[in-house]
A and B are shown apart, each in its own frame.
Chain A
Amino acid sequence: MSASREPALLGCESCGLVSANVVPEGDTSGWIQRCSLCGHALRARKPFAVQRTWACVAGAAVLYVPANVLPVLVTTNALQHGEHTLLGGIHELWVDGSWGLAIIVFIASIAVPVLKIGVLGLLAWTVRYAPAWRRLERARLYRLIEAVGHWSMLDVYVVLLLAATVRFGPLASAEAGPGLLWFAAVVVLTLLATWSFDPRLIWRDAEAPTNLQPAAT
């Protein structure tokens, strides 16, 4: 099989109406098929999905280094001046005995971004080099990172709130550190990477099952 098959039917992302996929002959540049019910553009694939995903994943992976090395929170009190990195903050919570909190922050700030970068890299790689490998598991992985993606913003909000309320001058004060900017950039880039990827690529050239009655549960 040389070219991948074009799907015969397209579903509208905005209203759900199903239309026949019209593939014009000859010059297709500038051709956009629109939904007859709501006018939204109908596409068999998101444009440049793999390239955009790679660009955002690579950017996120690079910025993840300063996000972890530089302090995200700077605190001052009567006795000392402290700089806290992401991992340092988690370590302090753990040492204080707040294990539950430490685990929550670890999942949101470390596990979720690393998972997103790793999974999207894997998905973008396998689309090209191992298209038929464990399609169902890859589809589930994509849905997982789509669902948990928001939670890496947690530490950004916590630092924002601490900096806004702990304002007692030399007695006690908290400020955002330079690492927070890079961490916020990692969060945005991983979100954009997730939205750029097209999960339909996982199923390119897959055999369609014969029974198309949805499985109601």
Chain B
Amino acid sequence: MSRDDDSLVVCEQCGLPHRWLPMASREIARCVRCDAVIGRGHRLSIMAVLALTTTAAAAWLVLVSAPLMSISLRGGTESATLPQSILAAWQGGQEVVAVLSAITALVAPAAFIALRLYVLAPLAAGRRPPGFAMCVRMLHQAGRWNMIEVFTVGVLLSLVRLSGLADTAPGPGLYALGAVTLLFAAIESAGLKHLWWQSS
């Protein structure tokens, strides 16, 4: 199914209905009443988003397994990966903070990638996978809770704050984190609603 030229679109922010117009790439349609964005001309095809998501999955594996940064002080060196940092908070008695960080920096980004792969790979072949509706709804939630871009700035900030105290070095995980952040921004710009309008 594709959207008809004479169909309607309702502004999510204020509820006002508008006529739907096919848009060229990079065009942005705004609500005439509240000025919110109600539609974008998409420049990424399903195949392009699938390729970006696969790349993000590879970068993600590096991110969770390689150290984000290491610091050295008088001969001793400490480094931490993302899962290790969360585990350290749990063991340090900060269970709530550990769970919140795990949701926003680990679980939500993982769901963001995994659900997209599950949905996009069959869509690229022209069919919908089982449980499609629930996956799209869960992707909306994963997008809400995903805070990987904030975490990236958090790692950079920690590096700078520690540089006065000891020798600090960014690890391979930090480069992977930067890649994941940029890829997520590109993937997110493609939106979710149009997934429903792609096939049969």
B150 touches A150 (CB 8 A): yes
**Set A154, A171, A181, A216: member contacting B150, Cβ < 8 A:** A154
Is the CB of A153 closer than 8 A to any CB of chain B? Answer: yes
Contacts of A142 in B (CB 8 A): 13
Distance, CA A206 to CA B73, complexed state (A) = 63
Stretch at the interface among B42-50, B81-89, B116-124, B178-186: B81-89
A156 touches B101 (CB 8 A): yes
Contacts of B165 in A (CB 8 A): 166, 172
Contacts of A29 in B (CB 8 A): none
Nearest CB of chain A from residue B105's CB, rounded to whole Å: 7
Contacts of A2 in B (CB 8 A): none
**Set A15, A139, A212: member contacting B17, Cβ < 8 A:** A212
Size of B's binding interface in residues, CB under 8 A: 78
**Set B7, B10, B78, B104: member contacting A165, Cβ < 8 A:** B78
Interface residues in B8-44 (C-beta closer than 8 Å to A)? 8-19, 21, 23, 27-36, 38-39
B94 touches A162 (CB 8 A): no
A150 touches B147 (CB 8 A): yes
A215 touches B32 (CB 8 A): yes
Interface residues in B69-114 (C-beta closer than 8 Å to A)? 69-71, 73-74, 76, 78-80, 84-86, 88-89, 92, 94, 96-98, 100-101, 104-105
B15 touches A165 (CB 8 A): no
- Which residue of chain B has its CB nearest to the CB of A162? B158
**Set A105, A187, A212: member contacting B32, Cβ < 8 A:** A212
Distance, CA A135 to CA B16, complexed state (A) = 14
Contacts of B175 in A (CB 8 A): none
Contacts of B76 in A (CB 8 A): 168, 171
Contacts of A16 in B (CB 8 A): 9, 193-194, 196-197
Distance, CA A96 to CA B162, complexed state (A) = 13
Distance, CA A163 to CA B71, complexed state (A) = 12
Distance, CA A67 to CA B199, complexed state (A) = 49
B interface residues, Cβ below 8 angstroms from A: 1, 7-19, 21, 23, 27-36, 38-39, 68-71, 73-74, 76, 78-80, 84-86, 88-89, 92, 94, 96-98, 100-101, 104-105, 133, 136-137, 140, 144, 147, 149-151, 153-155, 157-158, 160-162, 164-166, 192-197
Not counting A10-B10, A150-B149, A160-B85, a sample of 18 additional A-B residue pairs whose C-beta atoms are within 8 angstroms of each other reads A9-B8, A9-B10, A16-B9, A40-B133, A101-B161, A140-B35, A156-B154, A160-B86, A160-B154, A164-B80, A164-B85, A164-B89, A165-B70, A168-B76, A171-B74, A176-B97, A184-B97, A203-B33
